[in-house]
Structure 1
Amino acid sequence: MVEQLPISTPLDLVFHALADPTRRAMLHALSNGERTVGELAEPFAMSLAGASKHVKALESAGLIRREVKGRQHLCRLDAARLADAAQWLSFYERFWTERLNVLDALLRQEDVQSDTQGDQR
């Protein structure tokens, strides 16, 4: 028997959507304003159906909103879920900061030592 995965949380859906470089590029394009699915597909070697699958993943994650006007599907960025992801990541920022502070201190100590050795010559 195969164990079923738990239902994805909104945050899981956001990180899943952001894991794909094509979807990240589409989000970046939408940061400059509303685009059609065709316009989002244009920079990539993919069919409109392929682009639509990426748009659906972004839409499912709540990262974009799509409005249908006739035959056009207009997409616009909805950054609220990105803020949720940023907030989740910010908890871990202290770990990066601590490690970078230690590295900075070591590099400064190394600079001081090499300056001191240079003065002794």
Structure 2
Amino acid sequence: MKRIIGVLMVGICAVGTVAPAVAASPLKGEITVSAAASLTDSFTALAKAFRAANPKVKVRLNFGSSSTLVAQIQSGAPSDVIAAADLSSVEKLVTSGNVVAAPRVFARNSLSI
């Protein structure tokens, strides 16, 4: 079965917040999230909250540089969601046919001195 790679990490948060309202069909299974190393702290916290709200879902986190994550996915590594540090990395996945949904920017940052 071909894994579907999404580009919207916000979906993890949204599903986690509405899951209790959908008691008839609790979430179960596994999700693999590939995220830029700069997102380690925030995505680890998100995964912890998601697991607490959805104990039957196994969350696997894979952190690395965006270019490394792209190379892994293009080489066949399983990933359901990617959160890259730059849009150009995600565009490489779109061009190579590894993404099934249009990329969406979910956060921005800026340099502060």
TM-score range, shorter chain: under 0.3
Structure number with the higher strand fraction is 2
Greater Rg over alpha carbons, structure = 1
Q: TM-score, normalised by structure 1?
A: 0.26
Q: TM-score, normalised by structure 2?
A: 0.27
